[in-house]
Amino acid sequence: MLPDWIDVCPVQLPGRSGRMAEPAYLSMGPLVEEFTAAILPYCDLPLLLFGHSMGAAIAFAVAQRLEGKVAHLFVAGRCAPHLQALAALHRLSDAELQAYMRRLGGTPDIVFSEPELMAHVIEVLRADLALNDSYHAKGQLAATPITAFCGTDDTEVSEERLAAWSDLTGGPFKKVMLPGNHFFHFDAAPVLHRHIIASGERASE
């Protein structure tokens, strides 16, 4: 849905899809090392990063490592990562994690009805949450603009804790609240695209 002059490069983390046999990361450092090594060959072009939920924390950590090479950072559905975590979600029981997934929405019903699939999803989710719970951002980006998005019905992210992303850059910051829950970005894709396109145009000037 983005124009042809924007190349979309999805990031596939271990433990998922074609990388399902690989162990998921449990800490941010090794993940960022692999991420930056993969993305460095593209840094001769204007680079925009978008991350949702845990991906927002990963995108920020990568932007810090690539300081000066990221034209704009877009984060969605996550509290600012320098704030104290409200709960250690990776320590929840399997049943509690399933209830957490149902509360967030976005997980197909078939996942809950297939025990083997559910067991794998829980394993990957627990690893994600361990990484997410343990990451605490330090310092700020010197001038990279940050735009932070969140759904108005997202029970995991308050507007105040979303706005705290402004502490993590010395550059411009914008907070955008859109209708929806934690997975608001599916329905709000056209709005997200408009922000990304506008930033891409500025970066290409």
pLDDT for position 156: 86
Whether 53 is a known active-site residue: answer: yes
In this model, does residue 49 exceed pLDDT 80? yes
Helix (H, G, I), strand (E, B) or coil at 17: helix
Percent of the chain with pLDDT over 90: 69
> How far apart are the C-alpha atoms of 101 and 29, rounded to whole Å?
26
Interval 16-23 mean pLDDT: 84
Query: For residue 24, what pLDDT is reported?
Result: 86
* Alpha carbons within 13 A on the beta-carbon side of 71: 18
Please give the pLDDT value at position 120: 86
Determine the pLDDT at residue 149: 97
pLDDT at 6: 94
Residue 203 near residue 74 (C-beta atoms within 8 A): no
pLDDT tier at 33, thresholds 50, 70, 90: very high
Assess contact for 143 and 170: CB atoms under 8 A.
yes
Residue 121 confidence (pLDDT) above 90: no
Give me the pLDDT at residue 23, please.
Answer: 86
Distance CA 76, CA 147 (A): 8
* pTM, 2 dp: 0.92
Q: Which of 27, 53, 93, 158 is catalytic?
A: 53
Task: Tell me the CA distances in angstroms from 29 to 25, 81, 136, one per residue in order.
Answer: 9, 15, 12
Q: What is the pLDDT of residues 159-194, one digit of tens each?
A: 999 999 999 999 999 999 999 999 999 899 999 999
Q: CA 148 → CA 72, 111, 174, distances in Å?
A: 11, 30, 6
In tens, the pLDDT along 59-103 reads 999 999 999 999 999 999 999 999 987 678 888 899 999 998 888
Lowest mean pLDDT among 13-22, 108-117, 127-136: 13-22
pLDDT at 165: 98
Give the pLDDT score at 85: 77
